[in-house]
Amino acid sequence: MNTIEEIIEDLRQGKMVIIMDDEDRENEGDLVMAAAFTRPEDINFMARYGRGLICLTLTSERCQQLRLPLMTNE
């Protein structure tokens, strides 16, 4: 298992990491990487081997720039 500091450094270097939750919760891992370094091959890897949702967090400002509407008003 890696330390938080090692994981942050890996993310800063553009590496993909797996973040695991507690085995008493969902007992699963999430593939995570900094969006600035993400390539199409990385998304394909996530889709092929992660087999889950591919998510991206954006600020409200960025969503407005991209003209992305809210899914709900709540």
Residue pLDDT, tens place only, 21-37:
888 888 889 999 999 99
Q: What percent of the chain has pLDDT over 70?
A: 100
Cα→Cα distances 20→27, 31, 33, 56, 64, Å: 7, 9, 14, 18, 32
Given pLDDT bands bounded at 50, 70 and 90, which one contains residue 38?
A: very high
Q: What rounded mean pLDDT belongs to the chain?
A: 93
Q: Confirm whether 38 is domain-assigned.
A: yes
- The arithmetic mean of pLDDT across residues 41-58, rounded, is 93
Q: Confirm whether 23 is domain-assigned.
A: yes
Domain limits at 9?
4-65
What is the per-residue pLDDT for 46?
96
Q: Confirm whether 18 is domain-assigned.
A: yes
Q: Confirm whether 72 is domain-assigned.
A: no
Q: Confirm whether 20 is domain-assigned.
A: yes
Q: Confirm whether 71 is domain-assigned.
A: no
- Say how many domains are in the chain: 1
